[in-house]
Amino acid sequence: MAGFGTLAAAAVLLAPLVGSTRIHLGTAFDRSIPYADNIDAQIFFVARLPRVLAAALVGSALAMSGVVFQALLRNPLASPDTLGVSAGAALGAMMAITFNLDFSLLGISAVPLASFAGSLGALAIVYGLSTARRRGTSALVLLLGGVTVQALLSAVIAFVQYLADFTQTFRNVRWLMGSLDVASYSPILAGLVPMAVAWAGFATLPRMLDLISVGSESAAARGVNIERTERIALVSASLATGAAVSLAGPVSFVGIIVPHLVRLFVGADHRLVLPASALFGGAFLIGCDLVARTIIAPLELPVGIVTAIIGGPVFLWLLFRRA
């Protein structure tokens, strides 16, 4: 755990120092130069720092949501995308782009706002499905319901895409590749609000998730309020996912693989897996974004490509080395 903490701290501190441009830290922090004229300071404080913070936030949120969804649905293949929350967020963003929505609220522009609203809409549907469940219904029903919602929303996304013109289609595709280049702090601050709610929810979960992943009957026998726990898990993981996707677009791979990677090191105890995933997810995404913005400098790769290309082989190696 200390190792994961050190890794995350090192990533947050070191990543802003590296980039496609050379900057001098002395100049960046020199207060005698007016900020408006200080390019190094602007590269550090406008371009890099928000980006690293966004990566930390998004990476940890997706990784923790992955852990919770995998436990809740008792399925190792579950991820933040499984129940349609990401698709809802994507639909919101596609609609904002395709219908040229141009408004802002507290410094947040239309696309992330619409995206978060979309994720809430998807959450409402899935939550409705979960409450409609009768007592004793298996997690499989929620899983199937969520996957169906996800497929349905994907079809609506395709329809909205169909309505878009060339430039909008281009922007839609780019949004779907994900980007952490937020270029200001206001989207991060806004994202912190739903994330804080999600963290509060996550904090209550580890012990009960351990019991649930063994089986709901035995968990109930040990006095766990299954329905309440499942709802807290569902809502907090969905809120974290919605906030992450509306901030950065869909970033593949982090939410499904980081939890497994972490389990290879710390075992299955959720009291360790959940915080370790948060730390490692953040560090992993910061690292991937660092590669994305420097490897073909001055051009940049979409970060979602890097997460899969780096994460895939690393995970396979770990998996088969241990097996």
Q: Which of residues 177-196 bind other proteins (CB under 8 A)?
A: 179, 181-184, 187
* Binding of other proteins by 213 (CB under 8 A): no
**Measured distance CA(11)–CA(281) in Å, rounded:** 11
Question: What is the secondary structure of 168-230 as a DSSP string?
Answer: HHHHHHHHHT------SSHHHHHHHHHHHHHHHHHHT-HHHHHHHHH-HHHHHHTT--HHHHH
* Binding of other proteins by 260 (CB under 8 A): no
> Which of these, 14, 91, 61, 70, lies nearest to 236 by C-alpha position?
61
Compare residues 2 and 299 and give the one whose CB is closer to other proteins: 299
Q: What are the DSSP E strand ranges found in the chain?
A: 104-105, 108-109
**What H or E segment, with its residue span, contains residue 12?**
helix 2-14
Q: Which two tokens stand for residue 51?
A: 């980006």
- List 28, 48, 194, 245, residue binding other proteins (CB under 8 A): 48
- List 26, 31, 166, 321, residue binding other proteins (CB under 8 A): 166
Q: Binding segment for other proteins among 6-14, 106-114, 221-229, 270-278 (CB under 8 A)?
A: 106-114
DSSP type of residue 104: E
**Measured distance CA(214)–CA(268) in Å, rounded:** 11
Q: Which residue has the tokens 């241990």?
A: 322
Compare residues 210 and 300 and give the one whose CB is closer to other proteins: 300
Binding mask 110-129 for other proteins (x = CB under 8 A): xxx-----------------
Please answer whether residues 47 and 289 qualify as being in contact, where contact means their C-beta atoms are separated by less than 8 angstroms.
no
Compare residues 18 and 77 and give the one whose CB is closer to other proteins: 18
Q: Binding segment for other proteins among 45-53, 73-81, 252-260, 277-285 (CB under 8 A)?
A: 45-53
**Measured distance CA(116)–CA(73) in Å, rounded:** 23
CA distances from 15 to 9, 28, 30, 293 (A): 10, 15, 20, 11
* Binding of other proteins by 164 (CB under 8 A): no
Least spacing, CB of residue 238 vs other proteins, in Å: 24
Q: Binding segment for other proteins among 39-47, 137-145, 213-221, 229-237 (CB under 8 A)?
A: 39-47
Least spacing, CB of residue 98 vs other proteins, in Å: 11
In 10 A of CB 37, how many CB atoms?
8
DSSP type of residue 37: G
Q: Binding segment for other proteins among 5-13, 31-39, 77-85, 313-321 (CB under 8 A)?
A: 31-39
Gyration radius of the chain's alpha carbons: 20
- List 281, 293, 304, 306, residue binding other proteins (CB under 8 A): 293
**Measured distance CA(268)–CA(262) in Å, rounded:** 9
Least spacing, CB of residue 72 vs other proteins, in Å: 32
* Binding of other proteins by 100 (CB under 8 A): yes
In the complex, the residues that contact other proteins under the rule CB under 8 A are 19-21, 35-39, 42-43, 46-48, 51, 97, 100-104, 109-112, 162, 165-167, 170-171, 174-175, 179, 181-184, 187, 293, 298-300, 302
